[in-house]
């Protein structure tokens, strides 16, 4: 019997957070999931002696063929040198893929990509309507590889 994979957005998101915490722990870091009332931070991670810590926001997708994550406009304004995004692709039940992205890069990228999309015509030449949704996608293979498994960027 084939194993059933749950595909609801909330289940996928929660699974992504646990996978990231487990991966950080596997790599020898201390990782603690935050409460759901903590805005913009899903995990606090530190090195073993606690001398360096970072905040992590996890974004999860579940499409094995496309590395694409849905975001909101507010993420354009939430960035600092100590905040990172770990983008998880659950790969439809296979081993997850992780991309460690600095929040400063992510905020600038989703803002620029949205502005480019908004200023380009739709397929029928019409203007795109404004939206609060944003999409993060790697534009090329070199960009994807730069952040794939880039845990060293955390500086822990």
Please tell me the pTM assigned to this model: 0.89
Confidence of residue 4 (pLDDT cuts 50, 70, 90): low
User: Cα separation of 117 and 5, whole Å?
Assistant: 33
What are the pLDDT digits (tens) for 48-86? Answer: 999 999 999 999 999 877 889 999 999 999 999 999 999
On whether residue 26 sits in a domain, the answer given is yes
For 152, the token pair is 């060293």
Helix, coil or strand: residue 127:
strand
For residue 139, pLDDT over 60 is answered with: yes
Domain total for the chain? 1
On whether residue 3 sits in a domain, the answer given is no
Q: What is the mean pLDDT of residues 101-120?
A: 95
What are the pLDDT digits (tens) for 19-34? Answer: 999 999 999 999 999 9
Query: How many CA atoms does the CB half-sphere of 73 hold within 13 Å?
Result: 6
Helix, coil or strand: residue 94:
coil
- Looking at residue 71, which CATH number applies to its domain? 3.40.1350.10
On whether residue 90 sits in a domain, the answer given is yes
What are the pLDDT digits (tens) for 76-104? Answer: 999 999 999 999 999 888 899 999 999 99
Query: How many CA atoms does the CB half-sphere of 136 hold within 13 Å?
Result: 30
On whether residue 4 sits in a domain, the answer given is no
On whether residue 101 sits in a domain, the answer given is yes
Task: Answer whether 33's CB lies under 8 Å from 43's CB.
Answer: yes
Confidence of residue 9 (pLDDT cuts 50, 70, 90): low
On whether residue 135 sits in a domain, the answer given is yes
On whether residue 107 sits in a domain, the answer given is yes
On whether residue 147 sits in a domain, the answer given is yes
Domain that includes residue 41, residue range: 9-154
């Amino acid at each position: 019997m084939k194993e059933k994979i749950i595909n609801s957005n909330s289940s996928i998101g929660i699974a992504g957070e646990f996978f990231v915490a487990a991966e950080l722990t596997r790599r020898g870091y201390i990782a603690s999931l935050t409460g759901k009332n903590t805005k913009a931070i899903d995990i606090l991670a530190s090195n073993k002696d606690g001398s360096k810590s970072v905040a992590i926001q996890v974004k999860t997708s579940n499409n094995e063929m496309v590395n694409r994550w849905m975001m909101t406009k507010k993420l354009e304004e939430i960035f600092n040198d100590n905040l990172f995004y770990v983008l998880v692709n659950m790969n439809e039940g296979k081993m997850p893929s992780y991309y460690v992205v600095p929040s400063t890069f992510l905020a600038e990228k989703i803002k620029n990509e949205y502005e480019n999309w908004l200023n380009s015509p739709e397929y029928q030449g019409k203007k795109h309507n404004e939206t609060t949704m944003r999409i993060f996608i790697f534009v090329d293979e070199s960009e994807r590889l730069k952040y794939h498994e880039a845990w060293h960027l955390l500086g822990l």
